[in-house]
Every structure is written in C-alpha cells, then in structure tokens.
Amino acid sequence: MKTSADDKKVKRNDAVDNIGLIGAEPLDMTSDNVLAFIERRQHVTFVELHRYFTGFEGELCYGDLLNNILYWSGMSEEVCDILDELVSKGKIYAKPTVFLTYLADGGGLDAPLAKRQNFHYKKPRWLPVTWCSKSHLRHESPAIRKQYDEQMLDRRNKKLVDGKID
C-alpha cells in the first residue's frame, strides 16, 4: 500500500503532538521533525531536543565559537547540521533566554554565563538560548526582529563572499 506525502506529514505531526505524553516514542532526528517540533512548541531548549529526539548525543559544541560563546555542548554532528540548515534557510532562530529556563528543564552547562551576545570573550561562555520558528517572529519585539534581519543579511553576504549562492 502506497502512502502519499500528505499521509506522511500527518504521521509526523501526530508524532510531534504526542511528544511529552507517557510512553511516547522519541522522534527521529530529521530536519522536518525538528522544525515541526519547534513550530509547535516554540522556545525549545537544547534539553528538550535531547529529551525528545534520538541521536542527539555527541562530542560537538554549537554556538558562536569564534567569539567563545557556547549555546550547547555534547551534540552529534547530525544535530549541528540540522540546526545549521534550518537557521541558514531562515526557518528557525536562536533567542537568548535566562538560565532559569534551562534550570526548569533540568539542564545547563558548567561554564560562566555570557552577558552579551555580540562580544568576543577570551574564555568560553554559555549563552542560554531557545529555538523559535520564523512564524513566531511576528510576536517578538522590534529589536529581536531587527537582529533576525541582520543575521539573515550577514548570512547572505557571507554566501556571496564565499561564492556559495543558493
């Protein structure tokens, strides 16, 4: 029996809807599943991604590593690639949050907190962030929307300089 693309979409969304229920199976780490999860829940922490997806654990760090700012560590290459893909396509963005958000989710990094986002630190600092979908951007402050637009412009300019126009 063949299944249509719409059937697969419904199954994926049902799985995302059932996350957090007792006995629910963890989701496969795919860009479609991660995007659907973030779109449904908004303000998703790395702790939640680790809890609800298979294949999260690894040895990589994610963040603005040139400025010694860590968003999270202990991640697989697959997770980093998926987040990079979704961010570069403008489908999700990282929003700084207070460390209590991570404390409530039961996790955190053992590193000093970063107080500024666009600053070069001499030693690694942790900047707690949550993931939101682009559709949520309309609910954000003008400053956050401007920051998102600047990040997307920086990515486009970098692609032009590197010769990687998509």
Q: Indicate the pTM of the whole model.
A: 0.73
Rounded CA separation 158/166 (Å): 11
State the pLDDT at residue 117.
82
Rounded CA separation 82/28 (Å): 12
Residue 27, C-beta contacts closer than 8 angstroms, at least 6 positions apart:
15, 16, 19, 33, 37, 52, 53, 54
* Strand 69-75 to 57-64 pairing: antiparallel
Rounded CA separation 33/27 (Å): 7
Stretches where the chain sits below pLDDT 70 are: 1-24, 136-166
State the pLDDT at residue 93.
87
State the pLDDT at residue 24.
65
C-alpha closest to that of 40 among 17, 61, 23, 72: 17
Rounded to 10 degrees, the C-alpha dihedral 54/57/58/63 comes to 100
Return the structure tokens found at 80: 């980093």
Per residue in 29-62, pLDDT (tens digit) is: 999 999 999 988 889 999 999 999 999 999 999 9
State the pLDDT at residue 7.
42
State the pLDDT at residue 114.
93
